[in-house]
């Protein structure tokens, strides 16, 4: 009898345990679904709250899109202005939605705007940290700060540590652009994963509400679907990107890949995992690569930065010698980038950091890399006054404008293992011991990049410059002054002792002025200033008399003559000029020459 009852008691206990486990599972799924699709209610007592965002999209010099999500359907309103106390302008949408997207148009370029989001009756988010700065006019030169995060959407403490370290390092300085390098929400890119592992962690900082996001997808962003051709997935629903050259570049016609301009930088986001018409990025006959070549061909910006997920060179948690997607990208796509003289390539996928020197022409396996053949520079590029650390230099109108720096920055959310030959032979250095993100700063013809670790230290840095080390000749009229400027941004030491970027000179004879980059002694400009005397002559001439005026031979001089009372017969622009008086009898001709 005891055994009989004991048997049923055990069965009963098992049933209770299974029921509890099932209840927990249902609760977990329900929470996930509730996060992905908040419940709605018609009750007027329900409060509308922001559950996602705000976050910024599609920044131009005159417009921006502000997105957010609410728990209940509501209309949309953005109030904005140049001060937090005077949000005088508004943009509204009367549709009742939980996914809010409001465009602000007619903005001034390179201007700071504060904003508040909400409904027609309530403000839901607003304080002095809610602001953005519009882009400068395309092609202009403006100091630009860019944040790049690869494989960031894990929900791990690593992700939060990397965010906090970056915010602390930049110390409140504004970040203009945020590039996502793929695998933005683990493990499968479901909407609830985007909510809990991307939006919620980054909502804790101020970057998401201030800095426009320009994403690229990774393989994990596609794992919620079996169709790699699909654009009907959370990644594409959660981000608004340019498809019709709204921000420069060539129209791609698809959200899968796109380009845009900011200041003097051209950015290209490629899709290295999804398919277009059944073809992947490394299928060079496909639409994506045909578009890429057209976009690069039409690019007029000083800097060109490409970013996608799968790196062509890595020995981190992924192996670019054995994984075919990576092999094919290196063999088929990288030659195109070399041909169009791209400057910088950013990738994720490997949960580590690896960085090359300036390199070109390496399309084979790791063992075939030869630094003497494939590195366009043997410097570290650190530009920190240590041996062999001069910046990488490229000149736009020279055959020396070769070489790309490749960065794998896939540790913004987690770290993983490495291959036996880590870092890849083509990479100057790498680490899988510390997580971090990449800070890129562009100022005119200078680009600086730093890998900021999750503890706030700088693990690596490099500098690239364009069109420096200039030798020029210029002409100055005697008695005038001339402003001379170094061709780079940084430190300066002129031959006259000045440490300013520009100096004003008034030489009385031909003089060569030189400027170097201070103690680094990596750069030098030489400016030869020729000095021309001022010439003026007044002569008495008779009817039909020809009078010739001569000038000294001065290099690079183009003479401009001003004639009063006569007509130039020949010789303008040379060292002599023949002048014929226009009047009758005798008279005078005045001749002035300038340069």
Q: How many residues does the chain have?
A: 595
- Helical H segments across 37-181, by residue range: 157-170
Q: Considering the entire predicted model, what is its pTM?
A: 0.85
Question: Domain 145-466 adopts which CATH fold?
Answer: Purple Acid Phosphatase; chain A, domain 2 (3.60.21)
Kindly report the CATH number that applies to the domain delimited by 50-131: 2.60.40.10
> Tokens representing 85?
């106390």
3 state SS for 260-313: EEECCEEEEECCCCCCECCECCCCCCCHHHHHHHHHHHHCCCCEEEEECCCCCC
Find the angle CA(176)-CA(248)-CA(151) to the nearest 5 degrees: 50
User: How far is it, in rounded angstroms, from Cα 404 to Cα 344?
Assistant: 5
CB 198 within 8 A of CB 182: no
Q: HSE on the CB side for 379, CA within 13 Å?
A: 22
Per-residue pLDDT of the chain (595 residues; tens, 9 = 90+): 444 444 444 554 444 444 444 444 433 433 333 333 333 333 334 799 999 999 999 999 999 999 999 999 999 999 999 999 999 999 999 999 999 999 999 999 999 999 999 999 999 999 999 999 999 999 999 999 999 999 999 999 999 999 999 999 999 999 999 999 999 999 999 999 999 999 999 999 999 999 999 999 999 999 999 999 999 999 999 999 999 999 999 999 999 999 999 999 999 999 999 999 999 999 999 999 999 999 999 999 999 999 999 999 999 999 999 999 999 999 999 999 999 999 999 999 999 999 999 999 999 999 999 999 999 999 999 999 999 999 999 987 666 668 999 999 999 999 999 998 899 999 999 999 999 999 999 999 999 999 999 999 999 999 999 999 999 988 777 778 999 999 999 999 999 999 999 999 999 889 999 999 999 999 999 999 988 665 555 555 554 555 666 655 555 555 556 666 666 666 655 566 676 666 655 566 666 655 5
CB 200 within 8 A of CB 192: no
CB 195 within 8 A of CB 36: yes
At 216, is the secondary structure helix, strand, or coil? coil
Sign of the dihedral defined by the CA atoms of residues 222, 228, 233, 238, in that order: positive
> Tokens representing 12?
């009963």
471-532 CATH, one of 3.10.110.10, 2.60.40.1080, 3.40.309.10, 2.70.150.10: 2.60.40.1080
Strands (E) in 319-426, as ranges, are 344-347, 353-356, 392-394, 405-409
Q: HSE on the CB side for 182, CA within 13 Å?
A: 29
Q: Pick from 258, 272, 265: which is nearest to 311 by CA?
A: 272
Q: What residue has token string 């395309």? A: 138
């Amino acid at each position: 009898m005891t055994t009989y009852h004991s048997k049923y008691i055990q069965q009963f206990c098992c049933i209770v345990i299974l029921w509890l486990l099932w209840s927990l599972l249902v609760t977990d799924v329900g929470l996930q679904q509730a996060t992905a699709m908040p419940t709605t209610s018609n009750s007027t007592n329900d409060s509308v709250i922001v559950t996602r965002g705000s976050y910024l999209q599609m920044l131009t010099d005159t417009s921006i899109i502000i997105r957010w999500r609410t728990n209940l359907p509501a209309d949309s309103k953005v109030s904005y202005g140049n001060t937090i106390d005077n949000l005088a302008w508004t943009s509204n949408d009367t549709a009742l939605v939980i996914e809010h997207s409001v465009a602000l148009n007619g903005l001034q370029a390179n201007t700071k705007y504060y904003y508040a989001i909400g409904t027609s009756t309530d403000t839901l988010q607003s304080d002095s940290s809610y602001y953005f700065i519009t882009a400068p006019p395309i092609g202009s030169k403006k100091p630009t700060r860019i944040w790049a995060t690869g494989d960031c959407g894990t929900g791990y403490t690593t992700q939060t540590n990397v965010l906090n370290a970056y915010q602390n390092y930049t110390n409140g300085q504004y970040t203009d652009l945020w590039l996502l390098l793929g695998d933005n929400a683990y493990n499968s890119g479901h909407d609830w994963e985007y909510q809990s592992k991307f939006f919620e962690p980054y909502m804790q900082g101020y970057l998401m509400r201030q800095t426009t996001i320009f994403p690229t997808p990774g393989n994990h962003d596609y794992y919620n679907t079996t169709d790699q051709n699909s654009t009907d997935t959370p990644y594409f629903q959660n981000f608004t990107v340019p498809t019709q050259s709204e921000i420069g570049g060539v129209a791609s016609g698809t959200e899968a890949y796109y380009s845009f301009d900011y200041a003097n930088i051209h950015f290209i986001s490629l899709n290295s995992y999804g398919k277009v018409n059944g073809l992947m990025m490394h299928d060079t006959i496909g639409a994506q690569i045909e578009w890429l070549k057209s976009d690069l061909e039409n690019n007029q910006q000083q800097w060109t930065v490409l970013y996608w997920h799968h790196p062509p060179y890595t020995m981190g948690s992924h192996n670019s010698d054995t994984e075919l997607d990576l092999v094919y990208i290196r063999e088929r796509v990288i030659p195109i980038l070399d041909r169009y003289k791209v400057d910088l390539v950013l990738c994720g996928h490997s949960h580590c950091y690896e960085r090359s020197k300036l390199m070109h022409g390496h399309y084979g396996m790791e063992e075939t890399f030869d630094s003497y053949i494939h590195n366009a520079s043997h410097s570290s590029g650190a530009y920190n006054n240590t041996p062999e650390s001069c910046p990488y230099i490229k000149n736009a109108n020279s055959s020396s404008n070769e070489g790309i720096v490749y960065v794998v920055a896939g540790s913004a959310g987690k770290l993983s293992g490495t291959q036996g030959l880590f870092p890849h032979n083509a990479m100057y250095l790498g680490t899988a011991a510390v997580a971090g993100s990449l800070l890129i700063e562009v100022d005119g013809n200078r680009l600086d990049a730093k890998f900021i670790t999750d503890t706030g230290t700088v693990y690596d840095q490099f500098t690239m410059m364009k069109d420096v080390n200039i030798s020029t000749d210029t002409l100055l009229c005697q008695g005038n002054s001339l402003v001379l400027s170094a061709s780079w941004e940084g430190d300066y030491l002129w031959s006259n002792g000045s440490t300013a970027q520009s100096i004003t000179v008034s030489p009385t004879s031909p003089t060569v002025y030189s400027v170097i980059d201070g103690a680094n002694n990596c750069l030098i400009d030489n400016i030869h200033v020729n000095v021309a005397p001022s010439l003026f002559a007044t002569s008495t001439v008779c009817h039909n008399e020809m009078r010739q005026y001569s000038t000294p031979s001065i290099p690079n001089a183009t003479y401009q003559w001003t004639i009063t009372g006569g007509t130039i017969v020949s010789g303008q622009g040379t060292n002599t000029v023949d002048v014929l008086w226009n009047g009758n009898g005798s008279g005078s001709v005045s001749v002035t020459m300038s340069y």
